[in-house]
Amino acid sequence: MRTVTLNNGVEMPILGFGVYQIPPEQTEQAVADALAAGYRSLDTAAAYGNEEAVGRAIKSSGLAREELFVTTKLWISDAGEDRARRAFDTSLRKLGLDYLDLYLIHQPYGDVYGSWRAMEGLHGEGLVRAIGVSNFHPDRLVDLIDHNEITPAVNQIETHPFFQRATDQEVMRERGVQIESWGPFAEGRNNLFTDPVLGRIANAHGKSVAQVVLRWLIQRDVVVIPKSVRAERMAENLDVFDFDLTDDQMAAIATLDTGASLFFDHRDPVMASRLGTATLDD
């Protein structure tokens, strides 16, 4: 597995397994299948409601803790220095772990700065190897960097062929932040899996459209965490290190960029209010 080196020297697999929208009752089996297929990076969040199931799968896998790279995220209702610390302890307990590899602020709302102070403290205590953010646009990311001691190691954002985030990635590169994609397949929107440009490239390599999308992200040095509950699809998603897209193929995919989210804009006041007041059921 290829890795990327984060800004504090920590190695992170460039391809991992995400559990967003996998129901808790299916998560343990899905993660067990992913680990059996060869995934060693797992991405969950307090808001997903399946941290405990991820933890059970890790425990039953028999894998050594140091073989795994585990990420979870802090939800908005737990923002703030004291609450973030308590939320971290809860996530760690649910996962059944002694430390996290990566802890992210899930959304750019609420007391982000209080949360970040707590996360800097957790990092200093060795309870988390790297800290970062998710869904931060460049202005919010740069503001956080300029007013705190630790630069986020990762920014996990919507990134797929129809919303490619090249400008965001360049800002991150300049600031030493690793871009990570969520929604790499755009949840099938814009008919991604039958797109003619992606289809022609897939046929040329004898690969699937999904494999082409993952390869495209990897060649852009984007960390990616595809989700599936099907073991055969998990294996297929891992099988992307035996071919390369040509410069012409990369350029062809670049023409698909719409420059806009297919889900929602984090700068939309209505969405900011809706997310910012959402709480978690423990």
Q: What is the pLDDT of residues 156-204, one digit of tens each?
A: 999 999 999 999 999 999 999 999 999 999 999 999 999 999 999 999 9
Q: Give pLDDT, residue 281.
A: 65
Interatomic CA distance for residues 69 and 108, integer angstroms: 24
The mean per-residue pLDDT over the stretch 54-73 comes to: 97
Active site residue 20: no
Residues whose CB is less than 8 angstroms from the CB of residue 136 and which lie 6 or more positions away in sequence, other chains included: 105, 108, 144, 152, 155, 157
Q: pLDDT digit string (tens) for 75-113? A: 999 999 999 999 999 999 999 999 999 999 999 999 999
Does 229 have pLDDT greater than 70?
yes
**Exposure of 40 in the CB half-sphere (CA atoms within 13 A):** 15
Strand partners, 15: 224
Read off the pLDDT of residues 24-47 as tens digits, 9 standing for 90 and up: 999 999 999 999 999 999 999 999
Class of domain 3-276: alpha beta
* pLDDT for the residue numbered 175: 98
Return d(Cα 256, Cα 258) in angstroms, integer. 6
pLDDT at 46: 96
Taking the C-alpha atoms of residue 65 and residue 142, their distance in angstroms, rounded to an integer, is 33
Q: Which one is catalytic: 48, 103, 109, 113?
A: 48
H or E element at residue 234: helix 231-238
233-239 long-range CB contacts below 8 Å, 24 or more apart? 234/17, 234/33, 234/34, 234/37, 234/39, 235/37, 235/38, 236/208, 236/210, 236/211, 237/15, 237/210, 237/211, 238/15, 238/37, 238/38, 238/39, 239/211
Q: How big is the chain, counted in residues? A: 282
> Is the pLDDT at 282 greater than 50, yes or no?
no
Closest C-alpha among 90, 85, 117, 119 to residue 104:
119
Residue 6: CB atoms within 10 Å: 21
pLDDT band at 17 (very low <50, low <70, confident <90, very high): very high
Residue 159 backbone dihedrals phi, psi, to 5 degrees: -150, 120
pLDDT at residue 116 tops 80 = yes
State the pLDDT at residue 3.
97
What are the beta bridge partners of residue 179?
A: 155
Which residue carries 């209505």 as its tokens?
270
The domain limits of the chain are 3-276
User: Which of 63-67, 158-162, 251-255, 276-280 has the least mean pLDDT?
Assistant: 276-280
The pLDDT of residue 254 is above 90: yes
